[in-house]
Amino acid sequence: MPQGKKIRVGIVSLGCPKTLVDSEVILGKAQGAQYALTRDIAQCDVVILNTCGFIKEAKQESIDELLKLLEMKKEKRLQGVVVMGCLVQRYAEELQKEFPEVDAFVGSGDYMRVAEVLKKVEAGQKFVSVHKAGYLAEADERRIALTPPYSRYLKISEGCDHTCSFCVIPSLRGRYRSRAISDLIREAKQLAEEGAKELIVIGQDITKFGWDHAGKSLLPQLLEALGSVREIKWVRLLYTYPSTLTDEIIQALAKSKQVCRYIDLPLQHINDKILRDMRRGNTKKQAIELIQKIRAWIPEVVIRTSFIVGFPGETEAEFEELLEFMREMKFERLGIFRYSQEEGSPSAELPDQVSEKIKEDRFHRAMQLQQEIVRDVNRRFIGREFRVLMEKQDEKDPSLWTGRSYMDAPEIDGSVLVKTRKELTVGKFYTVKITDIQDYDLIGQT
């Protein structure tokens, strides 16, 4: 490594928003250790790759990114490559054998060792640290924003105690652990001081927040406490599990003026046999009753859900039942995932694994149906006005802007495309009248 100047460190963050928060914490620790941070990977001396190891596509993306970085190192455009996160937690030994050129491997629970890792890499020493899974930072640990300053993630918990048969998250992230409400409010105030107008509350299951030390959900109390942070205009909740979404939580969402009328409710399927094999802890009847309750108690609510197609044993009739459920419920937001047979998960050993061809066919049929549903749903918004958080001005046409309504989570949902003659500012809210629709987006004007 060069002597007499600061080592330039950058990060490539893959996977979910929880990993993104981890990456912000990692960068904070690197900066605290007096390393120079840069967003331009081509200008780095050392690059940290924070990986995802959840399903096949995510693992492949992590490997592809690693190969790019190792090629840069081979060409001497990089001096060090550090691989961290869930892929390392899951495949530490295999990765060390397959990629001996990597300078350091760090699991998902060892981020407190960032300064030590970089010091070893700087000295040309190999480093491996894979211990307890799932790092959970606190408010006094510095974060370097990887999102726009007006929209920040607030990670309230780590790990998962659910036993879904298709999922390996508990082995990647550890047992469920919640943070203290006082610590979260301290962090929320810090983020607000840095310019946050929207807080996106995340965890593997935020509805279980507090269960590990209070024996019940403390999410209603957290939402009430967040109300004291006046600068935060939107609080958005991601990952509310259907089996742990209680009446008290729904009432708290309905009562709060900050919380977006947006519920992310991953149902995964609706057929009772499939739900049982998935170990989801709820039935079709319970899911329908929950959706009806949410829509009755929270006016203007938008429900986002996700479904897995091609789960082992899923018949054509069971898939058709899922499509019919989609037609009946008309979810405003919905994601479809092809089942990924993950070694170490109970469902990987189930008989009647579905072929990739059938998974692909069902994926496209479900997505096509949802496109039609969203088109019908969005038509009802034409002529209405919404508060929109402006995010980007078109480089070629200054009169065109892109923003989000309360119905849209960043990087997940659609946008509001705005035509205006006014001077707008990124990160501020404006009233927009919807005039048309385009695929999953709304079109409007100020």
In this model, does residue 2 exceed pLDDT 60? no
Q: Judge whether residue 175 has pLDDT over 90.
A: yes
Q: Is residue 308 part of a domain?
A: yes
Domain with 111 in it: what CATH number? 3.40.50.12160
Question: Are 235 and 299 found together in one domain?
Answer: no
Secondary structure in 3-state letters for the chain: CCCCCCCEEEEEECCCHHHHHHHHHHHHHHHHCCCEECCCHHHCCEEEEEECCCCHHHHHHHHHHHHHHHHHHHCCCCCEEEEEEHHHHHHHHHHHHHCCCCCEEECCCCHHHHHHHHHHHHCCCCEEECCCCCCCCCCCCCCCCCCCCCEEEEECEECCCCCCCCCCHHHHHCCCEECCHHHHHHHHHHHHHCCCCEEEEECCCHHHCCHHHHCCCCHHHHHHHHCCCCCCCEEEECCCCHHHCCHHHHHHHHHCCCEEEEEECCCECCCHHHHHHHCCCCCHHHHHHHHHHHHHHCCCCEEEEEEEECCCCCCHHHHHHHHHHHHHHCCCEEEEEECCCCCCCHHHHCCCCCCHHHHHHHHHHHHHHHHHHHHHHHHCCCCCEEEEEEEEECCCCCCEEEEECCCCCCCCCCCEEEECCCCCCCCCEEEEEEEEEECCEEEEEC
Pairwise pLDDT comparison (4 vs 262), residue with the higher score: 262
Q: Measure CA 149 to chain center.
A: 17
Same domain, 319 and 367: yes
Query: Which CATH number goes with the domain that contains 156?
Result: 3.30.750.210
Query: Quick one: average pLDDT of 198-204?
Result: 97
21-39: average pLDDT: 96
* Statement: residue 171 has pLDDT above 60: yes
In a domain, 368, yes or no: yes
pLDDT per position as a tens digit, 398-432: 999 999 999 999 999 999 999 999 999 999 999 99
Kindly state whether residues 23 and 117 are assigned to the same domain.
Answer: yes
Q: Are residues 400 and 342 in the same domain?
A: no
Per-residue model confidence (pLDDT) at position 19: 97
Question: How many structural domains are present in the chain?
Answer: 4
> What local confidence, expressed as pLDDT, does residue 439 receive?
87
The whole-number pLDDT of residue 244 equals: 94
Radius of gyration, CA atoms only, the chain: 23
In tens, the pLDDT along 337-357 reads: 999 999 999 999 999 999 999
- Please check whether residue 334 lies inside any domain of the structure: yes
Task: Please report which confidence band the pLDDT of residue 56 belongs to, taking 50, 70 and 90 as the band edges.
Answer: very high
pLDDT at 4: 56
pLDDT in tens, 65-115: 999 999 999 999 999 999 999 999 999 999 999 999 999 999 999 999 999
Percent of the chain with pLDDT over 90: 98
Q: Do 163 and 114 fall into the same domain?
A: no
Give me the domain span that covers residue 334.
Answer: 268-380
Task: Count the alpha carbons within 13 Å of 264 in the hemisphere toward its beta carbon.
Answer: 22
Q: What is the rounded average pLDDT of the residues 121-130?
A: 96
* Cβ within 8 Å of residue 192, ≥6 positions away: 229, 231, 232
392 and 345 inside one domain? no
Residue 140 lies in a domain: no
Given this model, what pLDDT does residue 279 score?
98
Mean pLDDT (whole number) for 219-242:
96
Instruction: Give residues with Cβ within 8 angstroms of 423, minimum separation 6.
Output: none
Predicted local confidence at residue 427, as pLDDT: 98
- My answer on whether 122 and 154 are in the same domain is no
pLDDT reading at 3 higher than 90: no
Looking at the chain, the whole-number percentage of residues with pLDDT higher than 70 is: 99
- For tokens 């590990």, the residue is 212
- The CATH number of residue 420's host domain is 2.40.50.140
242 has pLDDT over 90? yes
Cβ proximity of 176 and 205 under 8 Å: yes
198 falls within a domain: yes
In a domain, 92, yes or no: yes
Of 352, 380, 408, the residue that ends a domain is 380
pLDDT tens digits for range 292-324: 999 999 999 999 999 999 999 999 999 999 999
Query: Which pLDDT score, from 0 to 100, does residue 5 have?
Result: 75
Strands 400-404 and 416-419: antiparallel
**Shortest CA distance to 427 belongs to which of 258, 232, 226, 264?**
232
The average pLDDT across 431-445 equals: 96
One domain for residues 201 and 243:
yes
| Residue 343 and residue 311 share a domain | yes
Q: How far is CA 221 from the centre of its chain?
A: 23
Residues 19 and 121 in one domain: yes
Q: Which of 78, 95, 129 is the last residue before a domain boundary?
A: 129
pLDDT at 1: 53
Residue 134 lies in a domain: no
Domain boundary among 238, 264, 290: 264
Q: Mean of the pLDDT values across residues 140-161?
A: 97
**Domain-embedded: residue 338:** yes
Same domain for 252 and 170: yes
Beta strand 80-85 with 198-202: parallel, antiparallel or unpaired?
unpaired
Q: How far apart are the first and last CA of the chain?
A: 53
Residues 408 and 302 in one domain: no
Statement: residue 257 has pLDDT above 80: yes
